[in-house]
């Protein structure tokens, strides 16, 4: 055995005190493993902080009718801040599992199914991905590092890392060289997300084409800020993101030809037909003054139509019964 034998896990006794090898240790809120791999440390860190995710879902259940804005504040301030604590040290580690968890929390806020297209969520709620938030933290961190006095211990550590060509340092340097500001990082994320949605819509992906019709400018809608109650938010969000149970969507899942995805009246039951055209719901439209001049996209973008949509669903259930 040599002094550099990393496999050595024998206890060490110093002045009568025995130090035993541990697989991991929590230091300043972060998990450090004995694997000598940053990726293992990050994975252990994410697992260690799962309690914050559990607390978030408990918060959602307890405060189910809290406004969307309040749920987003709770998510950012109480959950993501804790999960990303010390994440500036993660460099370019894989955070895909964290992305999945984050998207699941966003879907719970809107009350849509887990298969809902993630890109829609970012636009609908005006939030960035976890990778983007991680990049922001790291960009800010490295900018501060470069502004430190040369006598600072961290500056000395960075110099050593550069000397030995530590790849993590190269990641931070590329990050700072690529972006001039946090705003630029955020802007790039939304530009890429919007471009991806438009490209998929142009390639014939029907969900994406429908979403571009509902939200042609791909902007965060104001409807959620004017809509209260979780059920009301859900009913709007599901229709906006093709996460509903109209036949146009149900048939997509079963591979049914579009012309056979029929409404009670015999027409194809898509969003436009359901919201503004179906003769079965003529009385509901008259009651809420929805006529031929009312766009179905307008109905999904204005909180004043929530009661109208709910009554449409009630009438649809009655027709099914």
Q: Strand, helix or coil at 268?
A: strand
Backbone angles phi, psi at 19, to 5 degrees: -105, 120
Task: Please return the burial class of 39, using the count of CB atoms within 10 Å of its CB with bins 0-12, 13-18 and 19+.
Answer: middle
The pLDDT confidence band at residue 35, using thresholds 50, 70 and 90, is confident
* Alpha-helical runs (H) found in the chain: 38-48, 50-62, 68-74, 81-83, 96-110, 118-125, 130-146, 153-163, 167-178, 182-202, 206-214, 230-240, 247-254, 271-272, 282-287, 296-299, 306-320
Range name among 31-35, 69-73, 157-161 with the lowest pLDDT average: 31-35
What is the residue-averaged pLDDT of the chain?
Answer: 90
Confidence band, pLDDT 50/70/90 cuts, at residue 11 = confident
Res 6 pLDDT > 90:
no
- In this prediction, residue 172 carries a pLDDT of 92
CA atoms within 13 A on the CB side of 225: 6
22 in Cβ contact with 34 (< 8 Å): yes
Strand partners, 17: 14
Take residue 69 and report the two structure tokens written for it: 């804005």
With cut-offs at 50, 70 and 90, classify the pLDDT of residue 1: very low
Interacting residues of 126 by C-beta distance below 8 A, sequence separation 6+ = 220
């Amino acid at each position: 055995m040599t002094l550099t034998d990393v496999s050595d896990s024998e206890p060490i006794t110093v002045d009568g005190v025995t130090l035993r090898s541990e697989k991991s240790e929590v230091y300043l809120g972060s998990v450090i493993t004995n694997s000598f791999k940053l990726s293992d440390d990050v994975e252990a860190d994410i697992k260690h902080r799962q309690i914050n995710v559990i607390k978030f879902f408990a918060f959602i259940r307890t405060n189910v009718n809290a406004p969307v804005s309040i749920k987003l504040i709770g998510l950012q301030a109480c959950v993501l801040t804790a999960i990303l604590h010390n994440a500036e040290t993660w460099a370019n580690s894989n955070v895909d599992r964290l992305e999945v968890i984050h998207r699941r929390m966003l879907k719970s806020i809107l009350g849509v199914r887990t298969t809902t297209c993630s890109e829609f969520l970012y636009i609908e709620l005006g939030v960035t991905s976890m990778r983007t938030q991680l990049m922001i933290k790291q960009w800010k961190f490295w900018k501060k590092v470069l502004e430190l006095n040369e006598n600072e211990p961290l500056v000395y550590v960075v110099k050593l890392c550069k000397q030995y060509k530590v790849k993590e340092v190269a990641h931070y340097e590329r990050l700072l060289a690529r972006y001039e500001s946090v705003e630029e990082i955020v802007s790039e994320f939304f530009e890429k997300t919007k471009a991806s949605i438009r490209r998929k819509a142009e390639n014939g992906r029907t969900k994406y084409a429908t979403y571009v019709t509902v939200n042609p400018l791909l902007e965060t809608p104001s409807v959620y800020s004017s809509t209260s109650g979780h059920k009301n938010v859900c009913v709007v969000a599901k229709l906006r993101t093709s996460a509903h149970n109209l036949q146009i969507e149900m048939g997509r899942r079963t591979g049914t030809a579009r012309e056979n995805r029929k409404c009670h009246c015999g027409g194809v039951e898509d969003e436009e037909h359901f919201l503004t055209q179906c003769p079965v719901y003529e009385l509901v439209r008259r009651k809420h003054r929805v006529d031929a001049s009312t766009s179905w996209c307008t109905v999904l973008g204005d909180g004043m139509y929530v009661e109208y949509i709910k009554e449409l669903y009630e009438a649809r259930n009655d027709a099914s019964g």
